[in-house]
Amino acid sequence: MARAPSTSGSSQGQFDLDLAGAIELIKKSGARTVGVQVPEGLKRMASDLARDIQEETCAEVIVSGDPCYGACDVDLDLCRAADLVIHVGHSEMLEGDPLHDKVVYVEARIRADVREAVEGAADLLSARRVGVVTTVQHVHKLAEVLEVLKGRGIDGVVRPGGRTRYAGQVLGCNYKAARNADVDEYLFVGTGQFHPLGVALATGKRTVAADPVTGNVSVIDAAQMLKRRYGAIARAGDAERIAVIVSKKPGQRRMELARRMISLGEERGKRMVLVYLDRMEPDALVNLGVDAAVSTACPRIALDDQAKYNIPILTPPEFEVLLGERKGDYLLDEIP
């Protein structure tokens, strides 16, 4: 496995990338123009990657300058402009656009040792059988995680998911690997709070997070997020004009779901408008003059970015709650 170029001490030095495999594929394919798409957190490595690919293959390299947050967001314009696209940092989704055939996925693996964080998390776990989930950046460490848990008398359960490539892997929009574990408690190993919060919301079960990079461990508290989400639903109660957003991104496009939301709203006398866009930004909605929006794009937009918008942004299940179509426990929006 080739090491990612490590420049100016920036965070990409924490990752391993299998660039050698991608370079072999480029050579075999005979591609003359190669696109490179790098997610925001690793963008600063793009110029080094372009240089390495160009030197090794003699192909012309075009770097995508647009933001990218997941494998849902393969740059299809770049696919048209290049013979092959190297998509860095995410694993392939098990479905997608026909142009995905032109894409080579180069996953980024975080080198950080997981043992210390998992030992710390074991102190917080209360069950002796726990579901273990992670993101693609740490999925190569799952065997080690299970070993540490076993040493503490805890049986770690790892199950395959939905649109994810690896057993135990979750995405911000898919927690099937967690639900498939059929346990009463979860351990999430990885960075950030969004994914473990997603596990807690998707399963309704106690979730412990262990961050191998910072060494922090915590029990996830989903109550604040739930309060904010029910607040957004309540604020949308008076909305008359409602936009239903459909993303153009290949792995986020949910047109049928959006049409169902339009019908539901119209049946309740709302003025509904179907909006197709590439990137959901506050300005785009302000100019539409709507009172609320239902986003069928990345589910993280409503949950993570609500503060950026001056109107309530609901997920489809939240919109169903607003219309009285859905009752019971909170249902997290997921893309199957």
Q: Which residues bind ligand SF4 (CB under 6 A)?
A: 69-70, 72, 171-173, 251-252, 298, 300, 335
Q: Which is nearer to ligand SF4, 180 or 295 (CB)?
A: 295
What does 139-174 look like in DSSP terms, one character per residue?
A: GGGHHHHHHHHHHTT-EEE----SS-SSTTB-BTTB
For the bound state, the minimum distance from the C-beta of residue 69 to ligand SF4, rounded and expressed in Å, comes to 4
For the bound state, the minimum distance from the C-beta of residue 115 to ligand SF4, rounded and expressed in Å, comes to 28
For the bound state, the minimum distance from the C-beta of residue 94 to ligand SF4, rounded and expressed in Å, comes to 12
Number of Cβ within 10 Å of residue 221's Cβ equals 12
Number of Cβ within 10 Å of residue 11's Cβ equals 13
Q: Which is nearer to ligand SF4, 57 or 296 (CB)?
A: 296
For the bound state, the minimum distance from the C-beta of residue 123 to ligand SF4, rounded and expressed in Å, comes to 30
For the bound state, the minimum distance from the C-beta of residue 93 to ligand SF4, rounded and expressed in Å, comes to 7
Query: Residue 187 contacts by C-beta under 8 Å, 6 or more apart in sequence?
Result: 118, 121, 125, 130, 131, 132, 133, 145, 149, 156, 207, 208, 209, 210
Q: Which is nearer to ligand SF4, 161 or 312 (CB)?
A: 161
Query: Residue 122 contacts by C-beta under 8 Å, 6 or more apart in sequence?
Result: 148, 149, 152, 154
Give the containing element (helix H, strand E) for 112. none
Q: Which is nearer to ligand SF4, 53 or 72 (CB)?
A: 72
Number of Cβ within 10 Å of residue 205's Cβ equals 18
Cα–Cα distance between 145 and 226 in angstroms, integer? 30
Residue type, 171: L
Picking from 160, 151, 92, the residue whose alpha carbon sits closest to that of residue 131 is 160
Q: Which is nearer to ligand SF4, 156 or 198 (CB)?
A: 198
Q: Which is nearer to ligand SF4, 174 or 180 (CB)?
A: 174
Q: Which is nearer to ligand SF4, 73 or 320 (CB)?
A: 73
For the bound state, the minimum distance from the C-beta of residue 282 to ligand SF4, rounded and expressed in Å, comes to 18
Q: Which is nearer to ligand SF4, 70 or 212 (CB)?
A: 70
The two structure tokens encoding residue 46? 């793009």
**Which phi and psi angles does 101 have, rounded to 5°?**
-60, -20
For the bound state, the minimum distance from the C-beta of residue 293 to ligand SF4, rounded and expressed in Å, comes to 16
Residue 273: burial class (beta carbons within 10 Å; 0-12, 13-18, 19+): middle
For the bound state, the minimum distance from the C-beta of residue 315 to ligand SF4, rounded and expressed in Å, comes to 12
Cα–Cα distance between 251 and 315 in angstroms, integer? 16
